[in-house]
Each structure stands twice: as structure tokens, then as C-alpha cells.
Amino acid sequence: MQKCKVTFIPDKVSVEVNKGETLLAAAIEAGIYINSSCGGDGVCGRCKVIIREGTVQSQPTEKISHSEKQAQYVLACLSNVSEDVVVEIPPESRIGQEHLGVYVQIEETTSKDSGVSDEVFSHAPLMTKLFVKLPAPDHADRISDLERLYRELRKSRSMPILWTGLANMRRLGKLLRSSNWELTVTLGKRDETTEVVLIEPSDTSKKNFGFAFDIGTTTLVGQLIDLTTGKVLCSKITYNKQATFGADIISRIIYAQAEDGLETLHEAVANGINMIIKECVNEHGLTLNDITCCVCAGNTTMMHLLLRIDPTFIRREPYVPTVNFVHELRAAEAGIQINPRGLLACVSGVSSYVGGDIVAGVLASGMNTGDDLSLLIDIGTNGEIVLGNKDWLVCAAASAGPAFEGSGVICGMRAVKGAIQRVEISPKDYSVKYETIEDAPARGICGSGYIDILAEMLKKGVIDKSGKFNVDARTDRLREGEWGKEFVLVFASDNKPNKKKHEKGSDFDIVITEADIENLKRAKGAIFAAASLLIRHMGLDFSDLKNVFIAGGFGTSLNIEKSVMIGLLPDLAREKFRFIGNGSLNGARHVLLSDQAYESSQEIARKMTYVELSIDPRYMDEYMAGLFFPHTELDRFPSVKFG
């Protein structure tokens, strides 16, 4: 088979592939991850690259505009290599920042204002290290070495059934005598028992660390935690490399059914987790042997893929996952590189579309402990909703689509450097002021930016309540584009590069189209309809709510006023809204540090009732009513006033 050399710039990475291979496949082989929300089906149009030298065989597509064709843009997934070629990957096609690594140091959210603090739960981590001194045997005390160890452990604290593996039994006799009967024992909770996981000579009890992880569809977030003190030492985030094979869980479930697909998706998420672990361990001068356990929370599909469990039946009626409750297991079984005998615990899920990340969010919010009626909204591709209090919990998931996460919209991108996140439009000349993440040159628009844009265009009369552009708006920003009517946020000529930092923005005008507005309108309509129907299902009203918890990385930057204005969130007293940040991560940390929190998470998962909206005929009525800004029933939004 003839080989062709593909060179990617500005990475300066080359790879040899078989003639006829796609540029997207070549990029994956080279370790360069291009944004490909549809998994390479040519539907999303996110994997645009520029041919700088050589030629490729490209299939025709409407996703490449005329001006982009003139500039030698092609879709990487629809372009086959026929000779040596040099390919430039523009910033807007990057899956994350310039290199897909552990690219951001994040701040943990442990404030009582953002949910339950760590102090609420008793400190009893998943893995505990104890230094013990055993009395040497004599003629009056001739019990076995193992029973001698168990006896001493029971003296120090009350424990359920103790047990250990054969490997520890085999080395115990010599180890006790060579260490002068002084040992450090690592104890792990396994179901209703306590396992003696590790036995080490001398006192190593202070070297006990663990990780809490949020396994998101888009990102992986991890925290290194000192299990002795409960202190968070390091917090890092990276992109979930599975995004190369599809932006949403359905596309990944389909990919998992292909030959080696499940293994490929498993390795992608495991490698990302291990990358975070390695970065944090190196940063703090630790070794992998010092990491004795980790806790992961994620949606049901993500956890199946992490554990190499076939997710096929999650998307087939009657939508039943293989597992919701997973007992503690060796982390090595899931490909997670910590101490070889270290444990992995997964926060339990509820159903195919409400997983452990939502259970962890409920735990982190504390809504399951009080009398007040609360609503938890996790705004993402699925838009999970939980309603209830300490007596009962019901939940639902709305297929909102990835528009608020940067997919399915022309200039959408993730909330990374260069993304427009704040917008103001002048009522006089429709000029635009905007802010980007890290004040970098604008590359695209993230979810919070789109909410700002919609609200501003409504207030200033650029669009009407149906989302259609107002033809009477006199401005050169409103024009007929290649994808229909569009409004220009940033002209390419005004998007000045940062020469000192060698940063550049988009080479093209950054716009929002009527098609984008339609996608965003459908996404917000799905989320609001799910919350509204869930409340109606319980014979309640939004006015009965005492708290509305907003979870997820997207939630932390959400503008409440503008979210209400477009009909994404209910029109309630603003003090009822509370951000809990990354509820999935915070809940996983609670579980890691406290068996009380672990048991509480199990109770939440067991008692939460899932409501399947897709089979409720009222859902479509609610959804259709939400396809206006803010809603067809304006009396639901009494505070919203615009032209």
C-alpha cells in the first residue's frame, strides 16, 4: 500500500498514512485532536483545515462556504490523502487549546455558598492508612500472623469484616519479622467489608492521597486530595479525547459498536485521566504508589465506556443500562494508573440518561437533606433536571443538543481561550462590545456568550420573539450571508491579533445566523420544558421552589437575568438561584473523603425516581410552547420586558 506523508502545522508534526486515508484519521494517528462533533460523518462541519501544500480528494459539502473554498479550506473527515500534503489546523478547529493536554489549573468550589461544604460529612476516606505496632508472638500468644494483625486493627477502631488477598498473606510472615512487627496498613472499604489492601514496613501513614474525577462528555476534571487532611492539592482539567469520535453520547454509543470501538473509547478516557494524575503527581513530588484510590462521577454512558461495559442498550428501548451501581474495584481494571492495588469507586447512577454526575450534584447541593423544595438544573447536552427534598426526588433528562456547548452553531466553540462570553449591543447604532475568555482575540462564541447575544438582540430589537431578524434594524451588521440572514458580532478586519503573545483570532467574521438562533431556541425550550413538566408531574408550580441550583462548568458563568429573559430559566426571585459549580466533581470529592457521603450518594441513587419525558404526550406541548423568547405564555415571565 502506497504511503503518503501528512504534515500538520503549526504543530510541525508529520505522520505517514496509507493513500486514501482521511485527514481526520491522520490527525488522530499523529496525536492531534481536531474538533469533530459528529465523529467524522461530515455533518457538523467542525473539522475544517487548510491545505497549504499538495492536494487531497475532498467530497463536496455545504459546510464549506465559497470564501472558505477559495482559501483552500476542506473538511478533514471528508478529505482523502492522495499525495504528500501540508495541512494547517486553524484555531477554531482545535478541540481545545493549541495542544490537547492538561491545559488549565482550576479553582475548586468548596464554599458553603455554592453547596455543601466538606465539613458536613464525617472524615472517613475511601482508603485509610494506619501505623500499627504488633506484639511479637510467644508461647502464651500463639495466634497466626494474620489474626494478630486483625486483632490489633480491631483494637484501634470498630470495623466490619476484615479480609485480605492471597498476595498479602504470602508476604506477611517475613514482612512482620523484618520490620520488627511495625507496619503501615492501608484499609479500603469494599461493600460491607474492610479490605487490608496494602501492607508496608515502617510508618508511611502520611503518604495517602486520592483523586476525585468528573468524567464529562466534553471535559475531564480531576482533583488531587490529601486523604489525611482532606485538603485539595491540585485541580486540573483536560478535554475528553472521545470528542474526536462524536460530541454526544449517542454518537459514541454507535461508535462503540464498531470493531475495536469500545476499546478505543475506553482508552481515550483512561488516557485523559492518567494524564491528569501524572501532571498532579509530578507537580507535588509524589509517586503513583502514593495514590491509593480515586472516585469517578459521570453520566451513565461515560461510566460504561470507562469500565469497558457495552453501552449499546442505553439507546435502545426500553433504554436500560447494563449497570447503575458498581461495587468498588481495582483501579487497574479500568486502566487507571495509580497504586497497583488502589481502589476505584464510581458514584451510582439512576437510569440510562441520569447518571452518577447528577447524583453527585444532588449530594453536593444538599437538596436531599432539607424540607425546602429545590430544583437542580445541569445545563448540557442532556439538560438533566432533579426536583425534590429530603423526602423524595424525581428526575428527568431533556435532549437539549450541544448548541450551548458550541456545536451545531456556525461560530460556536467551547468555553476556552478566545471564546466570546459577554456581549453588549448599542441601541443607537447596533455596535457591539464583547469580552473573551482570557481577553484573547476572538475565535468564536461559547454558551454564555450566546445567551448574552440572544438577550441583547431581543432587548435592542434586532430579533423578534420568534427569533427572526428585524429587517428594519438599520445596520451593516445585519446582512444576507452564505447560510442565510446573519448578524456580525466581530468583523475579521477588526479582530486584531495580540502580537506580544503571538495570538490570533478568527480569520473570518464571527456571526450568529437565524439557523443558530433556531438551534439555541430549541435547546433552551427543551430544558425549560423538562423542568416545567417535571414540576407539573408532581402537582406543583415554579412558585413553590425555595432553591434553584445550577450545576456544571457552564452554570458558573451563566447570567441569570439574561437566561430568564430568553426563557432558559424560570422567572423567579433571583436570590433563589444558586450556583454549585461542578457538582459532579464536588460530589465525587465528598464520596472520596467520607463513607457517610458515599452511603448518602447510594441512598440518593436508590430513591430518585426517573421520569421518561419522551413517552409523556404533554412534553411536546411544553416544548412547542417554549419555542419563543421567552415563551408563548408571557404571564410565566412577568419581569421580562423588551420592545
SS3 state at 38: coil
C-alpha 118/C-alpha 585 separation (Å) is 12
C-alpha 394/C-alpha 372 separation (Å) is 15
C-alpha 580/C-alpha 567 separation (Å) is 21
Q: What is the DSSP string of 288-330?
A: GGGEEEEEEEE-HHHHHHHTT---GGGGSTTT--S-S----EE
Better-predicted residue by pLDDT, 274 or 558: 274
Cell of 167: 498476595
Q: What is the pLDDT of residue 192?
A: 81
> What b-and-e string marks burial along 588-608, b requiring 16 or more CB atoms within 10 Å of the CB?
bbbbbbbbebbebbeebbeeb
**pLDDT (mean) for 624-636:** 94
46 pLDDT exceeds 80? no
- Please give the share of the chain, as a percent, with pLDDT higher than 90: 66
**pLDDT (mean) for 466-485:** 87
Q: What's the Cα-to-Cα distance from 618 to each of 318, 433, 532, 566, rounded to whole Å? A: 20, 41, 10, 22
Enumerate the CATH 3.30.420.40 domain ranges in the chain, comma separated.
366-400+523-635
Q: What is the pLDDT of residue 214?
A: 95
Q: What is the pLDDT of residue 553?
A: 64
Q: What is the pLDDT of residue 30?
A: 80
Are 400 and 388 in contact by the 8 Å Cβ rule? The answer is no
- Please give the share of the chain, as a percent, with pLDDT higher than 70: 93
**pLDDT (mean) for 167-195:** 92
Q: What is the pLDDT of residue 127?
A: 95
Residues 548-597 have pLDDT tens digits of 999 876 656 789 999 999 999 999 999 999 999 889 999 999 999 999 99
Q: What is the DSSP string of 571-601?
A: ---GGGEEEEESHHHHHHHHHHHBHHHHHHH
SS3 state at 495: coil
Residues 124-166 have pLDDT tens digits of 999 999 999 999 999 999 999 999 999 999 987 777 788 999 9
Tally the residues of the chain: 643
Which residues, 6+ apart, have CB-to-CB distance to 210 below 8 Å? 125, 126, 127, 224, 225, 227, 291, 292, 293, 294, 295, 592
Cell of 29: 494517528
Enumerate the CATH 3.10.20.30 domain ranges in the chain, comma separated.
3-89
Cell of 280: 498532579
Q: What is the DSSP string of 496-517?
A: --BTTTTB---SS-EEEEHHHH
Tell me the residue type at 62: E
What would the CATH number be for the domain defined by 3-89? Answer: 3.10.20.30
pLDDT band at residue 95 under the 50/70/90 scheme? low
496 pLDDT exceeds 60? yes
Closest CA to 384 of 349, 345, 414: 349
Closest CA to 153 of 124, 128, 172, 136: 128
C-alpha 548/C-alpha 130 separation (Å) is 42
Q: What is the pLDDT of residue 98?
A: 37
Q: What is the pLDDT of residue 131?
A: 95
C-alpha 442/C-alpha 497 separation (Å) is 9
C-alpha 478/C-alpha 482 separation (Å) is 13
Better-predicted residue by pLDDT, 403 or 111: 403
**pLDDT (mean) for 468-491:** 88
C-alpha 586/C-alpha 110 separation (Å) is 7
Query: What strands, in cross-sheet order, belong to the sheet with 162-164?
Result: 127-133, 182-190, 193-201, 162-164
SS3 state at 283: helix
Closest CA to 92 of 22, 28, 36: 36
β 3-9/48-53 pair status = unpaired
297 pLDDT exceeds 70? yes
Q: What is the pLDDT of residue 158?
A: 75
Better-predicted residue by pLDDT, 178 or 218: 178
Better-predicted residue by pLDDT, 269 or 109: 269
Q: What is the pLDDT of residue 157?
A: 75
99 pLDDT exceeds 60? no
Q: Cβ atoms within 10 A of the Cβ of 517, count?
A: 25
Note if the pTM is more than 0.75: yes
Better-predicted residue by pLDDT, 545 or 37: 545
CA gyration radius, the chain: 27
348 pLDDT exceeds 90? yes
Q: What is the pLDDT of residue 517?
A: 95
Cell of 638: 412577568
Are 379 and 577 in contact by the 8 Å Cβ rule? The answer is no
C-alpha 512/C-alpha 256 separation (Å) is 34
**pLDDT (mean) for 426-453:** 91
SS3 state at 287: coil
320 pLDDT exceeds 70? yes
Are 347 and 356 in contact by the 8 Å Cβ rule? The answer is yes
Closest CA to 33 of 218, 215, 213: 218
C-alpha 417/C-alpha 97 separation (Å) is 7
| Domain 366-400+523-635, classified CATH 3.30.420.40, yes or no | yes
Closest CA to 108 of 581, 481, 441, 626: 581
- Angle of CA points 59, 64, 70, to nearest 5°: 95
C-alpha 441/C-alpha 445 separation (Å) is 12
C-alpha 225/C-alpha 605 separation (Å) is 25
Q: What is the pLDDT of residue 105?
A: 45
**Mean pLDDT over all residues of the chain?**
89
Architecture of domain 127-201: Roll (3.10)
